């Protein structure tokens, strides 16, 4: 897949058994020296294969924690590259999920005013969503993704085998974005999603590759004409306005994709209350969302906790709050006039009707 960007055109390729095929991935000479940033969880699971893949090239192993995306932590990553003799002819290679991608992308976009960058995403969320679209983001204190740039990788290589070792929590996190994109597509996309979700093994390689391709095609259709978030691409924040607030308010106990699932459910409740979405549509979508809810008791947070973080949303443009609301499949709209009382009432309803969702134990990303 080729992705057009005003910054540069870049490519995405699916590669089976990637860690055993370095020559296919980096067989040329146009990349200079390779310098790796690697997710510690991935390194723990695939250590022997990664060591053979990296060979004698320098690498830094980083814990995939939101705290490591805090802007004050970036100096250490810059220092590792500069002290390691990294030049503009070299390539930063990221092996990991969205947190490593955000750290690496921001650094690649700013070191020497931009260096070559290759991405090997290892989580479903990164493979099906964040790997394309050019955004990089780092956190400021307790606020998520306030600082960032637009800077795509030069190359993206996806191996769905990495998803076999994801915890249920982080596999479902990827499903959150897959669901979102297909709800934002059309009737055919929605039917494709429902067929996939009905499959006995959602991690099956062939099925997974198909739904990832479908998701990336939908995302590409949204951002290729609006790369810098000036218009239609804003709609991709469906579920994110509330979702980011839930992540931050929970101290990131709720991972991103699962927060987006709750965020879409919440947005649909607001949409229904406003008369934008029909009740039966809201209930139909709710049945999908609740299958993948996080293992977190929403009653542990108050509406005021959520509102405090929604006020910090970088998409907010006025005195009221901003949300993407939905009428149904492929019909999402941006509203900048969401009142705080709407949030309070909808959150009270959400806590009441969703506390019966089965809670699960969460664990670290892989």
* For range 263-291, the mean pLDDT: 97
- What confidence score (pLDDT) does residue 358 get? 53
Whether 157 has a pLDDT exceeding 50, the answer reads yes
Percent of the chain surpassing pLDDT 90: 82
Residue 230: per-residue pLDDT: 61
pLDDT reported for residue 8? 87
Percent of the chain with pLDDT over 70: 95
pTM above 0.75, yes or no: yes
Q: For each of the domains in the chain, give its residue range(s) and CATH number, in order of start.
A: 2-165 (3.40.50.1970), 168-354 (1.20.1090.10)
Please state at what angle helix 256-273 crosses helix 168-183, rounded to 10 degrees: 40
The pLDDT, as a whole number, for residue 146 is 87
The pLDDT value given to residue 366: 37
Residue 174: pLDDT band (50, 70, 90) is very high
DSSP state letter for 70: B
Q: Tell me the β-bridge partners of 333.
A: 325
pLDDT digits (tens, 9 = 90+) for 177-207: 999 999 999 999 999 999 999 999 999 999 9
Mean pLDDT of 21-38: 91
**Segment 34-48, tens digit of pLDDT:** 999 999 999 999 999
Give DSSP secondary structure letters for 183-250.
HTS-HHHHHHHHHHHTSS-TT-HHHHHHHHHHHHHHHHHHHTT-TTSSSGGGGGGTTHHHHHHHHHHT
The three-state DSSP-derived secondary structure of 15-39 is CCCHHHCHHHHHCCCCCCCEEEEEE
How does residue 228 score in pLDDT terms, banded at 50, 70 and 90? low
**Residue 364 scores a pLDDT above 70:** no
* Count of Cβ atoms closer than 10 Å to residue 221 Cβ: 13
Residue with tokens 């994709």: 257
Residue 197 structure tokens = 């979700």
Model confidence pLDDT, tens digit, residues 302-352:
999 999 999 987 677 778 999 999 999 999 999 999 999 999 999 999 999
Calpha distance 238→263 (Å, rounded): 8
Q: How far apart are CA 62 and CA 244, in angstroms?
A: 23
Mean pLDDT estimate for the chain? 92
| Pick from 51, 198, 39: nearest CA to 121 | 39
């Amino acid at each position: 897949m080729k992705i057009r960007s005003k910054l540069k055109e870049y490519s995405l390729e699916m590669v089976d058994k990637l860690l055993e095929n370095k020559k296919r991935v980096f067989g040329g000479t146009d990349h200079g020296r390779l310098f790796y940033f690697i997710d510690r969880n991935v390194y723990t699971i695939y250590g022997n294969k990664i060591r053979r893949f990296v060979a004698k090239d320098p690498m830094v192993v980083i814990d995939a924690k939101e705290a490591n995306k805090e802007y004050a932590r970036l100096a250490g990553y810059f220092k590792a590259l500069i002290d390691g003799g990294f030049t503009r002819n070299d390539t930063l290679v990221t092996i990991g999920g969205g947190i490593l991608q955000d750290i690496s992308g921001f650094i690649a976009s700013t070191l020497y005013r931009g260096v070559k960058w290759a991405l090997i995403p290892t989580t479903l969320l990164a493979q099906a969503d964040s790997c394309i679209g050019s955004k990089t983001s780092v956190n400021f204190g307790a606020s998520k993704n306030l600082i960032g740039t637009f800077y795509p990788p030069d190359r993206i290589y996806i191996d769905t085998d990495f998803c076999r070792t994801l915890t249920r929590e982080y596999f479902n996190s990827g499903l959150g974005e897959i669901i979102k994109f297909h709800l934002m597509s059309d009737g055919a996309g929605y039917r494709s999603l429902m067929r996939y979700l009905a499959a006995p093994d959602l991690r099956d390689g062939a099925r997974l590759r198909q739904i990832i391709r479908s998701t990336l095609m939908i995302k590409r259709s949204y951002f290729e004409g609006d790369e810098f978030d000036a218009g239609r691409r804003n709609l991709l924040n469906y579920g994110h306005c509330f979702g980011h607030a839930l992540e931050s308010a929970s101290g990131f106990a709720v991972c991103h994709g699962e927060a987006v699932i709750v965020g879409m459910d919440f947005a649909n409740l607001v949409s229904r209350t406003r008369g934008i979405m029909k009740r039966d549509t809201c209930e139909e979508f709710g049945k999908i969302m609740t299958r993948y809810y996080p293992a977190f008791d929403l009653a542990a947070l108050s509406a005021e906790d959520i509102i405090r973080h929604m006020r910090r949303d970088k998409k907010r443009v006025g005195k009221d709050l901003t949300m993407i609301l939905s009428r149904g499949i492929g019909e999402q709209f941006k509203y900048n006039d969401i009142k705080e009382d709407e949030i309070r009432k909808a959150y009270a309803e959400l806590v009441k009707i969703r506390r019966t969702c089965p809670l699960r134990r969460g664990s670290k990303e892989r």
